């Protein structure tokens, strides 16, 4: 008998059904009926504080960004209907790439249609059949998928562990002294907000003549003197060969990018399939991204953002929660022992008017069940105190707090 193509998902479907039957609110089917501001929306008819949307700078409603987007929409239309290499490169795409080069003080910048595609494209293309990609164990799905799409040999090292990386690179070099090697790390890991020790990791990479790619998706705008990310914060930008990032978090829209000083970097426009074979970003999106990057460079919103995060993290820690985060990034996450309680916790927070992220394995490291918040510079202290009050109320109700 032939197989139904969907039989392989039966276990996942059964898990999902359990979740859907556990209450009227399902984290996979949340939809925002209306959005009021970067920090508030109407969900299921209820005014809800958004505490898990990665909108770190609150840029989605910045008036200058909206104005730039409107002007581009009126001048250039709703979409490009084409790939960057055919009819999909407009004035705005080139200006955005110039703005990125200026933002990073880099020689080259390429804009992709999403951050996911930036990782997918760069990793799968620069590392070929005779090369190696060496990735952190806790890498985002887009990094794993970039590896799966390419033809390089893929090796994984223990999360944020320079000695483990060094050991694995030495093994590769022992067998393959001349191979090209790309080491991939993230500036900030999104689930627990921990930073990579870029200096130590990149130094291990350079010792074995490997290239270094840093994904600053969750750190652009948030860290560094001019918001370039963790490499700038740690003063190690000279050790980084490729910086990848996204416009979908601090920049407040959608899109991805890679910047580099490699003299042959622009070749990617000819050979990188996720760049070539997809439609380019709409003009309004590139216009708001360009404006947001200009604003982020000189912004002091970083200070407000980290103050907000520290306030929630400290409040949760003082209340006695088992913390996954420290407050040194925009992420606040509490650890819940079991998945069923985590689901109930999420549902109760929604009923109290606070949207947070339910994060469970395998999206989380070390099998953790998390209630994850991403703070915004646009949150007021009143909103943060409200989140905290509701976290404590639900924690007491579900006996998560001792």
Partner 1 sequence: MTLDTTEILDQICGLMAPFNKKGVSISADTTFASDLELDSLSVMDMLAAIEDHFDVTVPLNILPDLETVGQVSEAIKRILDEEN
How much is the CA Rg of the chain, to the nearest whole Å? 22
Give me the phi and psi of 235, to 5 degrees please: 60, 40
Which strand (E) or helix (H) includes residue 117? helix 115-126
Are 382 and 368 a contacting pair, CB within 8 Å? Answer: no
Interface with partner 1 (CB under 8 A), residue from 168, 208, 218, 379: 168
* Binding of residue 128 to partner 1 (CB under 8 A): no
30 touching partner 1, by CB under 8 A: no
Segment interacting with partner 1 (CB under 8 A) among 13-21, 34-42, 146-154, 383-391: 146-154
Nearer to partner 1, 93 or 168 (CB): 168
- Select from 113-121, 149-157, 243-251, 293-301 the region that touches partner 1 (CB under 8 A): 149-157
Is the CB of 128 or the CB of 361 nearer to partner 1?
Answer: 361
The site string for partner 1 over 317-356 (x = CB under 8 A, - otherwise) reads: ----------------------------------------
- How many CA within 13 A on the CB side of residue 141? 6
Count of chain residues binding partner 1 (CB under 8 A):
14
d(CA 207, CA 29): 48
393 touching partner 1, by CB under 8 A: no
Stretch that binds partner 1, among 116-124, 166-174, 304-312, 339-347 (CB under 8 A): 166-174
Instruction: Compute how many other C-beta atoms are within 10 angstroms of the C-beta atom of residue 45.
Output: 8
Does position 369 interact with partner 1 (CB under 8 A)? The reply is: no
Quote the least distance from Cβ 267 to partner 1, whole Å: 25
Binding piece for partner 1, criterion CB under 8 A, among 164-172, 206-214, 227-235, 371-379: 164-172
Q: How far apart are CA 214 and CA 33, in angstroms?
A: 36
Residue placing its CB nearer to partner 1 in the complex, 34 or 137: 137
User: Residue 359: phi, psi to the nearest 5?
Assistant: -120, 120
137 binds partner 1 (CB under 8 A): yes
Are the beta carbons of 189 and 162 closer than 8 angstroms?
no
Q: Is 362 one of the binding residues for partner 1 (CB under 8 A)?
A: yes
Identify whether 120 is preceded by a cis peptide bond (ω within 30 of 0): no
With tokens 């109930």, the residue in question is 344
Q: How far is CA 74 from each of CA 67, 262, 286, rounded to the nearest angstrom?
A: 11, 37, 14
213 scored as a contact of partner 1 (CB under 8 A): no
Please report how the helices 198-207 and 162-175 are oriented relative to each other, as an axis angle in degrees rounded to 10.
10
The reply to whether 153 sits near partner 1 by the rule CB under 8 A is yes
Quick one: 263 or 367, whose CB is closer to partner 1? Answer: 367
Return the range that interacts with partner 1 (CB under 8 A); candidates 154-162, 192-200, 211-219, 348-356.
154-162
As a 3-state breakdown, the chain gives helix, strand, coil percent values, each rounded to 5, of 45, 20, 40
Task: Determine the Cα–Cα distance for residues 234 and 48; give it in Å rounded to an integer.
Answer: 36
With beta carbons less than 8 A apart as the criterion, state whether 112 and 161 touch: no
Per CB under 8 A, does 156 bind partner 1? yes
Q: Site map for partner 1, 246-275, x if CB under 8 A?
A: ------------------------------
What whole-number distance in Å separates Cα of residue 55 and Cα of residue 38? 7
Instruction: Tell which one of 128, 361, 380, 396 touches partner 1 (CB under 8 A).
Output: 361
Q: Segment 171-190, which members bind partner 1 (CB under 8 A)?
A: 171-172, 175
Q: Among 47, 95, 167, 273, indicate the residue that binds partner 1 (CB under 8 A).
A: 167
Q: Which stretch binds partner 1 (CB under 8 A): 29-37, 150-158, 182-190, 322-330?
A: 150-158
Q: Give 305's DSSP letter.
A: H
- Read off the tokens for 372: 């994850």
Task: Using the structure block, give the residue that is written with the tokens 């840093």.
Answer: 214
Q: Tell me which residues touch partner 1 (CB under 8 A).
A: 137, 147, 153-156, 158, 167-168, 171-172, 175, 361-362
């Amino acid at each position: 008998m032939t197989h139904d193509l969907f039989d392989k998902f039966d276990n996942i479907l059964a898990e999902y059904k359990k979740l859907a039957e556990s209450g009227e609110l399902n984290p996979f089917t949340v939809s925002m009926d209306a959005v009021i501001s970067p920090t508030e929306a109407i969900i299921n008819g209820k005014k809800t504080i958004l505490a898990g949307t990665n909108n770190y700078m609150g840029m989605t409603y910045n008036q200058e960004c909206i104005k730039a987007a409107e002007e581009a929409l009126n001048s250039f239309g709703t979409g490009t209907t084409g790939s960057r290499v055919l009819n999909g490169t407009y004035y705005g795409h080139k200006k955005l790439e110039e703005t990125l080069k200026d933002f990073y003080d880099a020689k080259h910048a390429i804009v992709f249609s999403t951050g996911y595609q930036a990782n997918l494209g760069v990793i799968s293309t620069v590392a070929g059949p005779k090369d190696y990609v060496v990735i952190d164990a806790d890498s985002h799905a887009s990094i794993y998928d970039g590896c799966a799409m390419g033809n390089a040999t893929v090796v994984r090292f223990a999360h944020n562990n320079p000695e483990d990386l060094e050991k694995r690179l030495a093994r590769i070099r022992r067998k393959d002294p001349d191979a090209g090697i790309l080491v991939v790390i993230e500036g900030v890991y999104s689930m627990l907000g921990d930073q990579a020790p870029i200096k130590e990791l990149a130094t291990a990479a350079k010792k074995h003549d490997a290239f270094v790619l840093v994904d600053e998706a969750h750190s652009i705008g948030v860290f560094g003197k001019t918001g370039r990310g963790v490499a700038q914060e740690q003063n190690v930008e000279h050790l980084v060969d490729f910086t990848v990032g996204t416009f979908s978090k601090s920049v407040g829209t959608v899109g991805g990018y890679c910047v580099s000083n490699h003299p042959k970097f622009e070749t990617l426009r000819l050979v990188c399939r996720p760049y070539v074979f997809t439609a380019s970003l709409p003009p309004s999106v590139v216009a708001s991204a360009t404006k947001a990057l200009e604003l982020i460079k000189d912004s002091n919103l970083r200070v407000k953002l980290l103050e907000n995060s520290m306030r929630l993290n400290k409040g949760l820690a003082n209340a006695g929660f088992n913390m996954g985060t420290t407050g040194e990034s925009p992420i606040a996450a509490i650890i819940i022992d079991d998945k069923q309680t985590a689901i109930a916790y999420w549902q109760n927070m929604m009923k109290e008017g606070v949207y947070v992220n339910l994060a469970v394995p395998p999206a989380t490291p070390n099998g953790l069940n998390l209630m994850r918040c991403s703070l915004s510079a646009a949150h007021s202290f009143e909103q943060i105190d409200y989140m905290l009050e509701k976290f404590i109320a639900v924690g007491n109700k579900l006996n998560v707090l001792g």
